[in-house]
Amino acid sequence: MQLENLLSYKSRQSISFIITISIALVWFTNGLFCKVLNLVPRHQEIVERILGETYASPITKTIGVLEIGMSIWVLSGIRSRFSAIFQLVIIATMNSLEFALAPDLLLFGKMNIVYAFLFMIIIYLNEFHIKTKKLRL
């Protein structure tokens, strides 16, 4: 039985709302606290490792501002399917680069890729299975 048929439309809306807020919080927290405010310096160290030391600080802050923007986009619901696909591409790209070039700087080392993949699954399921389909009787 499909997930869409197990839950009522209202239940799926509520679950999707909570998941959407959670996704936005991940982007916001990583953007503001980890990158813009540099409360987690290893984020800038990762950028240094991948792009070089010269512009690592402004690039890290720019990435942080873009992540805050992503959180706003997620909450807005504007072109949510495109947003979800864009998030999946960004997360896959970012984490693949980090996995290959800076695994020692990641919170969970090479296991970070597993958490990134789980986050991607949540984004995918929320957008394409939980929130979008109405209950069919």
The one-letter code for the residue type at 65 is: V
Please give the pLDDT value at position 136.
44
Please give the pLDDT value at position 9.
76
Please give the pLDDT value at position 2.
60
Average of per-residue pLDDT across 32-46: 98
In this structure, is the dihedral angle defined by the CA atoms of residues 17, 18, 19 and 20, taken in order, positive or negative? positive
pLDDT band, very low/low/confident/very high, at 35 (cuts 50, 70, 90): very high
Dump the DSSP string for 2-13.
Answer: -HHHHS-HHHHH
Residue 137 pLDDT > 50, yes or no? Answer: no
Look at 27-41, 69-83, 122-136 and tell me which has the smallest mean pLDDT: 122-136
